[in-house]
Amino acid sequence: MYIATYPDIDTLSHQAAQLIVRLAAESVVTHGRFTVALAGGSTPRKLYSLLANEPYRRQIDWALVEVFWSDERCVPVDDPESNFRMAQEAFLSKVPIAENQIHRMHADWPDHDAAAQAYVIEMRRVFGTDGIPSFDLIQLGLGPEGHTASLFPHQAALREQERLVMPVRTPKPPPDRLTFTPPLLNAARHVLFLVTGSDKADAVHEVIEGEYNPDEYPAQIVRPPHGEVTWMLDTAAASKLSR
């Protein structure tokens, strides 16, 4: 685990953009493409805007990028709460990536189970596997109560071992969501947590330095045995860490 602290979200976002550029280049050299699952929420918006502009935009070979999402709210695609809409507006509509390389979760389908199953089928098709896809990068955030993706405390989804994507009902509006499950998160080559704000400081401390209790702090469950985890924090979010 690598932990880095930055004075503000601007500095943090530039460092995150540089990391993504590096991982994209390494992935293309290693196996010919870069597979990434994006996070929602407000924190990544600055990062996405940076990736859509120079100098970062030209440093990524967008023809070799496959974009997914680690979770999505069950809202219409044009809803302000849609993770896809945020990334599309801030980022994807501004870079030269083909539409068929952008794989959104169909969380707006009435049948959430069918939407989750369809996403797994789509991932396996793109990755060319019948097993668990291994993303080059899964980007995640952290909620004040320790949730990540849409895995919240005391959910059955935290103990899921078979399904890779599943519908969940969360205490945070909008309540109905689709989310990656632990087996998929822990198959990643790299995981990047971006966390800002003093309201996250307690959760950051518990997840990183507290006793292992993922039922209470779900982000603790992200421990890929063959991958690297990077935490990028602003000083407010890191304020209760001892290191």
The 10s digit of each residue's pLDDT in 96-136 is 999 999 999 999 999 999 999 999 999 999 999 999 999 99
Q: Which two tokens stand for residue 110?
A: 């009435």
- pLDDT on residue 91: 94
Q: Is 222 inside a domain boundary?
A: no
Average pLDDT over every residue of 31-45: 94
- pLDDT on residue 15: 98
pLDDT cut 90: percent of the chain above it: 96
**Core vs surface per residue 20-45: b (16+ CB within 10 A) or e:** bbebbeebbeeeebbbbbbbbeebbb
Domains contained in the chain, number: 1
pLDDT band at 172 (very low <50, low <70, confident <90, very high): confident
What rounded mean pLDDT belongs to the chain?
Answer: 96
Distance CA 70, CA 67 (A): 10
Average pLDDT over every residue of 165-186: 95
**Core vs surface per residue 99-129: b (16+ CB within 10 A) or e:** eebbbbbbbbeeebeebbeebbebbeebbee
Q: Which residue has the higher pLDDT, 140 or 243?
A: 140
Q: State the pairing for strand pair 137-140/34-38.
A: parallel
- pLDDT on residue 41: 83
pLDDT cut 70: percent of the chain above it: 100
Q: Is 68 inside a domain boundary?
A: yes
Distance CA 49, CA 91 (A): 6
Domain holding 22: CATH number?
A: 3.40.50.1360
Residue 180 is part of which domain span?
2-214+230-234
Model confidence at 198: pLDDT above 90: yes
Q: Is 48 inside a domain boundary?
A: yes
Q: Is 223 inside a domain boundary?
A: no
- pLDDT on residue 20: 98
Give 205: exposed, middle or buried? Use CB within 10 Å, 0-12, 13-18, 19+: middle
Q: Is 101 inside a domain boundary?
A: yes
Average pLDDT over every residue of 79-102: 96
Average pLDDT over every residue of 184-188: 98
Hey, what's the torsion of the CAs at 14, 15, 17, 20, to 10 degrees? 180
